[in-house]
Amino acid sequence: YTGYGNAAGLLATRGLLGGQRSKTTSSGTKYSSDSDSDTEEYRQIKDRVNPVTGQVEEEQPDPMEGMTEEEKEEEAHRLISLFNKLSKDNVIQPMGLNEEGQLVPLSDLRDLSVEEKKSEEEHDDLENVE
């Protein structure tokens, strides 16, 4: 199986990255309608295929099984602090969508949110004065 990471060139060549579906390849050959369907073997292991690498992975036990709610909450806080550290060290840059649907750093969104709150508070203060 081929993962998304390894198949990007193939998908681009066939015009599938933009969401258009093409029955012909760049060489002009046509596929039969059943060539797009999953085989029975693939259907059985579909949930275990890593979509990035294409590797079939062994089923892993649920890491949260047997944990109390407090332990789950502690784990969530630990993960958040690790993400914050990675973000502060510029290893990762968390992104979000702005009002136009474009990806922007979360810090920019946070700054916009603070500015909007200040603007709303000032507007509310002006209304209360009148």
Residues forming beta bridges with residue 49, ordered by sequence position: 56
Alpha-carbon distance of 36 to 41, in angstroms, equals 14
- Name the pTM for this structure: 0.42
Kindly report the number of other CB atoms within 10 A of residue 109's CB atom. Answer: 16
Interval 4-39: pLDDT, tens: 666 777 777 777 766 555 555 555 555 555 555 567
- What number is the average pLDDT over the span 37-59? 82
Q: Which pLDDT score is estimated for 91?
A: 92
Indicate whether 77 pLDDT > 90.
Answer: yes
Pinpoint the alpha helices (H) of 1-130. Answer: 4-13, 40-45, 69-88, 106-129
Whole-angstrom Cα Rg for the chain: 24
What are the sequence ranges of the domains in the chain? 4-48, 94-130
Nearest to 4 by CA among 48, 44, 55, 42: 55
* Whole-number pLDDT of residue 69: 95
d(CA 4, CA 8): 6
For position 80, what pLDDT does the model report? 92
| Dist. CA 10–CA 26, nearest whole Å | 10
